[in-house]
């Protein structure tokens, strides 16, 4: 029977260990499920024979909280959690979030801001020079000098600020095992040159590309933009080289990226003995809300060659897509059916993008992703392999399993990739069997200028997909809806662009229930644009909405029909010189607004006409009319 890894010193002793080899410190509650990075890395290391103890959400105010298991034989692993700790705490408007889905009962305040740095500082207080390895998305996306939205400045690499010995970036299964083996052998991590890791050194390694220094990047936006462009150009496991960036008298040294796991390796990783549950110590606290979103879902792939500018997946997981075998996913689905809480519905089969199952083209595995060509933008590459055959077979196989009532696809669907294949086989399968009433897609915007900054296709591509989706639903006699996601205030978006999007929404009778205001998170091209006002790919200027009032107006325009937004929408339209969209004509976005207590002229005239008609009707039917003789003729006009 699978058991949780130790979380208390007593459990370590019960296992007969004098001390754990490794203590894994995580800013998330301990959930032993393959959708949580700390579960994967700890189980991978356990499978390699290492003794791993878990220290979830320790009290960061007290160094003694990190001594629960004593000093580990090899070192500490530290992660800021599944989501960057600052994103966990704050909205795009920098307001505190009401809850933290990765903490017991959704409780806020169970982790510190910039958790990775704080945890490392407490470990150093407790144990001095014990080896510390940091990883997870927080460290991965902050491995170089990076713009920090919450401080509104460029901060140093997390490896420098945390004082850790090694930083693992990307998907860390291989690098974690290699780094721990080096510790076990007593080798120097600084000299190990493990792919997928960063270390510090006094000199730049020969052959490594030098980025603009931290000091240059912090003081010169053009230097920062050049640095980000170089980071993205070399972030490929096949052709990517080493990079280094000077921080004072030291260098941050990034060794080349690790190769993605093979299909066989992914199968092994996802079939490790996970408990697929939160630790029982959270039962009385309401559990961990984030598990409910993934408990009955299947991760089928990693990586994304969509390469949207606002998404960090390209910089974290890479552009080369890898996937699990159908057999492995079927085995996991059968495990789901044995869960007493399973009702017969698999909530999702996907990953970063559900309908990606293999590299974009045959050349990616040999030469790596193209240096200056995106796979899908501005139009799909002629070498793109848009075959959905294996994904269709996977979905068909899963839904035929005993105990499975329905298999849904809720991960993002790249509709431009779907349209790349002339056959409608996948779309038909999707519409007939795998949509839960609504299919969510992300055109994001309609302005060509904004879409170019985003790296998203022209809106006509979305319209073509929407038409095919409607036709497929009609063909099978179904009434299922398309739910498009849009984003406000992305770099490149002016008030005029936001108005253009609002007009599009009105014309097409689209009312987005949720609107995402652009959030400048670490590690994305869009965040670089936000900070520098430059597109790092071209070094051309980009308009950026930084004023909070303008950002609020752009967001309100996407939901112009809500009464609460009308004041902001009217202000936006007046500011942009688009008063023609204020009124009662069918093309207008909103009716005029007037001071409290005053009635609009149009409404007054309409009310007057209604009163005239009522008076005429009364005169025709009221026996006490002006003639005093009962019903009389109405007055002539």
Query: How far is it, in rounded angstroms, from Cα 572 to Cα 500?
Result: 12
pLDDT at 620 (0 to 100): 41
Please compute the mean of the pLDDT values over residues 110-138 and round it to a whole number. 97
pLDDT at 422 (0 to 100): 77
Place of tokens 């629960």: 68
β-strands 250-254, 22-26: how paired?
Answer: unpaired
The candidate with the shortest Cα–Cα distance to 117, out of 73, 152, 74, 148, is: 148
**pLDDT above 90 (res 631):** no
Query: How far is it, in rounded angstroms, from Cα 488 to Cα 545?
Result: 10
pLDDT at 628 (0 to 100): 36
Give, in degrees to the nearest 5, the angle at Cα 255 between 253 and 260: 145
Helix axes 263-270, 37-47, angle to 10 degrees: 100
Please compute the mean of the pLDDT values over residues 76-91 and round it to a whole number. 96
- 221 preceded by cis ω (within 30°)? no
The pLDDT-based confidence of 1 (bands split at 50, 70, 90) is: low
What three-state secondary structure class fits 418? helix
Look up residue 472 and give its two tokens: 């497929």
Domains along the chain?
Answer: 9-192 (3.40.50.280), 471-596 (no CATH)
Please compute the mean of the pLDDT values over residues 454-478 and round it to a whole number. 96
Please compute the mean of the pLDDT values over residues 46-55 and round it to a whole number. 98
Query: How far is it, in rounded angstroms, from Cα 190 to Cα 200?
Result: 7
H or E element in which residue 441 lies: strand 438-444
pLDDT at 614 (0 to 100): 45
pLDDT at 636 (0 to 100): 31
Look up residue 146 and give its two tokens: 């990076």
Query: How far is it, in rounded angstroms, from Cα 281 to Cα 55?
Result: 13
Q: Burial level of 343, CB count in 10 A (0-12/13-18/19+)?
A: exposed
pLDDT at 314 (0 to 100): 87
Query: How far is it, in rounded angstroms, from Cα 232 to Cα 229?
Result: 5
**pLDDT above 60 (res 623):** no
Look up residue 429 and give its two tokens: 């399968």
Nearest 5°: phi and psi at 570?
-65, -40
| Confidence (pTM) | 0.90
Residue-averaged pLDDT of the chain: 92
β-strands 301-302, 322-323: how paired?
Answer: antiparallel
Look up residue 70 and give its two tokens: 């004593």
Mark 401-431 as b/e (b = at least 16 C-beta within 10 Å).
eeebeebbbbbbbbbbbbbbbeebebbebbb
Please compute the mean of the pLDDT values over residues 164-186 and round it to a whole number. 97
**pLDDT above 80 (res 33):** yes
**pLDDT above 90 (res 294):** yes
Rg (alpha carbons) of the chain, rounded to whole number: 29
**pLDDT above 60 (res 41):** yes
Query: How far is it, in rounded angstroms, from Cα 407 to Cα 415?
Result: 19
Q: Burial level of 151, CB count in 10 A (0-12/13-18/19+)?
A: exposed
Alpha helix ranges (H) inside 136-185 = 136-141, 158-162, 173-184
CA distances from 222 to 230, 285, 335, 524 (A): 12, 49, 52, 16
Alpha helix ranges (H) inside 142-239 = 158-162, 173-184, 214-219, 221-233
The 10 Å Cβ neighbour count of residue 621 is: 9
pLDDT at 594 (0 to 100): 55
Please compute the mean of the pLDDT values over residues 70-77 and round it to a whole number. 98
The answer to whether the CB of 27 falls within 8 A of the CB of 111 is yes
Nearest 5°: phi and psi at 64?
-65, -20
pLDDT at 275 (0 to 100): 96
């Amino acid at each position: 029977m699978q058991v949780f890894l130790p979380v208390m010193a007593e459990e370590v002793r019960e296992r007969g260990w004098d001390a754990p080899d490794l203590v894994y410190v995580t800013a998330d509650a301990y959930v032993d499920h393959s959708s949580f990075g700390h579960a994967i890395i700890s189980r991978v290391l356990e499978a390699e024979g290492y003794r791993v103890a878990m220290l979830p959400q320790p009290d960061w105010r007290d160094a003694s909280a990190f001594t629960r298991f004593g000093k580990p034989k090899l070192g500490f692993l530290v992660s800021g959690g599944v989501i960057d700790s600052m994103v966990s705490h704050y909205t795009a408007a920098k307001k505190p979030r009401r809850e933290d889905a990765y903490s017991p009962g959704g409780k806020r305040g169970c982790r510190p801001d910039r958790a990775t740095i704080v945890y490392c500082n407490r470990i150093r207080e407790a144990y001095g020079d014990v080896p510390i390895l940091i990883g997870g998305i927080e460290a991965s996306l902050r491995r170089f000098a990076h713009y920090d939205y919450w401080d509104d400045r460029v901060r140093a690499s997390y490896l420098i600020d945390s004082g850790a010995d090694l930083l693992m970036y990307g998907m860390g299964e291989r690098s974690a095992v290699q780094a721990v083996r080096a510790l076990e052998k007593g080798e120097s991590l600084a000299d190990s040159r493990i792919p997928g890791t960063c270390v510090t050194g006094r000199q730049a390694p020969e052959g490594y590309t030098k980025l603009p220094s931290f000091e240059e990047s912090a003081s010169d936006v053009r230097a920062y933009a050049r640095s980000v462009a170089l980071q993205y150009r070399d972030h490929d496991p096949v052709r990517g080289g080493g990079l280094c960036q000077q921080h004072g008298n030291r260098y941050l040294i990034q060794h080349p990226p690790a190769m993605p796991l093979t299909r066989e390796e992914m199968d092994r990783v996802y079939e490790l003995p996970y408990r697929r549950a939160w630790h029982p110590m959270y039962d009385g606290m309401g559990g961990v809300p984030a598990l409910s979103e993934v408990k009955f879902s299947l991760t089928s792939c990693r990586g994304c060659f969509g390469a949207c500018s606002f998404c960090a997946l390209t910089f974290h997981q890479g552009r080369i897509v890898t996937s699990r075998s159908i057999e492995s996913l079927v085995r996991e689905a059968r495990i789901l059916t044995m869960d007493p809480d399973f009702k017969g519905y698999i909530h999702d089969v996907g990953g970063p993008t559900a309908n990606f199952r293999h590299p974009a083209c045959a050349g990616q595995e040999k030469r790596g992703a193209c240096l200056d060509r995106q796979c899908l933008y501005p139009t799909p590459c002629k070498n793109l392999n848009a075959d959905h055959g294996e994904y269709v077979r996977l979905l068909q196989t899963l839904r035929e399993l005993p105990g499975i009532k329905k298999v849904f696809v809720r991960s993002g669907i790249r509709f431009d990739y779907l349209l790349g294949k002339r056959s409608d086989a996948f779309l038909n399968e999707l519409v007939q069997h795998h949509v839960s009433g609504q299919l969510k897609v992300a055109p994001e915007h309609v302005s060509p200028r904004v879409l170019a900054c985003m790296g998203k296709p022209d809106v006509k591509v979305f319209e073509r997909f929407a038409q095919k989706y409607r036709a497929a639903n009609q063909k099978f006699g179904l009434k299922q809806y398309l739910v498009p996601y849009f984003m406000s205030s992305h770099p490149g978006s002016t008030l005029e662009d936001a108005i253009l999007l609002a007009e599009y929404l009105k014309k097409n009778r689209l009312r987005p229930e949720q609107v995402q205001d652009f959030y400048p998170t670490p590690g994305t091209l869009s965040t670089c644009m936000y900070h520098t006002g430059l597109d790092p790919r071209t070094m051309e200027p980009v308009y950026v909405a930084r004023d909070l009032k303008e950002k609020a107006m752009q967001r309100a325009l996407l939901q112009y029909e809500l009464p609460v937004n009308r004041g902001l929408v009217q202000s936006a339209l007046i500011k942009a010189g688009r008063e023609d969209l204020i009124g009662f004509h069918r093309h207008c976005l909103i009716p005029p607004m007037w001071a409290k207590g005053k009635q609009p002229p149009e409404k007054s005239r309409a009310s007057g006409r209604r009163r005239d008609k009522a008076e005429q009707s009364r005169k025709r039917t009221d026996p006490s009319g002006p003639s005093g003789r009962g019903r009389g003729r109405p007055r002539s006009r």
